[in-house]
């Protein structure tokens, strides 16, 4: 059985984003009074009172820079929540944020989009992910929130 690994934003990239984000803006930290923000550094929701930041992040661009792919027009950047300071990262290897509508966007090794699929609940999330990776052309999958289209995390084969 193939495993799928949810990948948080890498610590070295987080360090960069905490200085200047992918849109060239400095990070602005705030105290999260309510909690519930989907943190991309540790793949969990924030707790009330935590210091977080909303930064611009370009996941496909950063992946492509490391692989030599050219995402062309599929290169995009968008808002993500991160801890304002270093954090220990995810507490396990679960696939987070699966209990709501999500879009699984598939990409080739060349950085081109191969399609997407709407997932409406946690029960269909893993089968949809397995279906995406059944295609040998799929190099990675981006999990995105439907409400705002925000990038949640990247999934690769384990």
pLDDT 10s digits, 96-127: 999 889 999 999 999 999 999 999 999 999 99
Question: What's the token pair of residue 56?
Answer: 């611009």
Contacts of 126 (CB under 8 A, 6+ apart): 4, 95, 98
The alpha carbon of 132 is separated from its chain's Cα centroid by a whole number of angstroms, namely 16
Confidence of residue 142 (pLDDT cuts 50, 70, 90): very high
Question: What's the token pair of residue 49?
Answer: 């009172």
pLDDT of the residue at 102: 95
User: What is the arithmetic mean of pLDDT over 24-48?
Assistant: 97
pLDDT in tens, 44-80: 999 999 999 999 999 999 999 999 999 999 899 999 9
pLDDT of the residue at 149: 85
User: What is the C-alpha to C-alpha distance for residues 113 and 138, in angstroms, rounded to an integer?
Assistant: 9
User: What is the C-alpha to C-alpha distance for residues 64 and 47, in angstroms, rounded to an integer?
Assistant: 33
């Amino acid at each position: 059985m193939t495993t799928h690994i949810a990948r948080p934003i890498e610590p070295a990239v987080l360090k960069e984003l905490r200085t200047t984000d992918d849109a060239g803006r400095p990070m602005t930290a705030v105290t999260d009074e309510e909690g519930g923000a989907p943190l991309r550094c540790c793949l969990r929701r924030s707790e009330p009172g935590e210091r977080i930041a909303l930064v611009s992040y370009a996941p496909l661009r950063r992946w492509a820079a490391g692989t030599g792919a050219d995402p062309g027009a599929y290169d995009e950047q968008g808002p993500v929540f991160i801890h304002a300071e270093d954090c220990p990262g995810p507490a396990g290897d679960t696939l987070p944020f699966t209990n709501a509508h999500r879009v699984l966007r598939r990409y080739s090794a060349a950085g081109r989009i191969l399609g997407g699929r709407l997932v409406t609940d946690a029960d269909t999330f893993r089968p949809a992910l397995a279906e995406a990776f059944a295609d040998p052309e799929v190099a990675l999958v981006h999990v995105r929130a439907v409400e705002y289209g925000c990038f949640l995390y990247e999934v690769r084969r384990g």
